[in-house]
Copies of this chain bind each other. A is one copy, B any other.
Amino acid sequence: MEPNTKANFEARAKVLKAMGNATRLFIVNELADGEKCVCELQEKIGSDMSTVSKHLSVLREAGILASRKNGNQVFYSLRCPCVLQFFKCIESVLRTSAQDTIELMG
């Protein structure tokens, strides 16, 4: 693979990699209907606040989230809501896998 091509795919992969984690994908899904602050997300996720904060950093670094400070709270939101469309395709990948498994058994 050419260095240039490799760099291009690495940049693109970074976005998918950021979403390729259960907690981070949950966060993306939570932000579907608007921004939320770290403490709201932390409460739903149930991990340490520092863990949630680090996940949010990964998503922001990947360009998926934007952050906005208000008082001593930080609100995160989706920067490109098109990422929500990924869910539909992922469902069909999972569904197809499940279907194949059933056919193997039958």
Residues of A within 8 A of B (CB): 1, 5-6, 9-26, 29, 44-46, 62-64, 79-80, 82-83, 85-94, 96-97
Contacts and interface: CB of A to CB of B under 8 A. Distances in A.
Count the copies: 2
A17 to B, nearest CB: 3
Given A63-B96, A93-B79, A93-B83, A19 B13 contact: yes
Nearest to A79: B96
A90 B9 contact: no
A27 B48 CA distance: 37
B16 A20 contact: yes
A88 B85 CA distance: 11
6 contacts: A12-B87, A18-B20, A80-B96, A82-B88, A82-B89, A85-B85
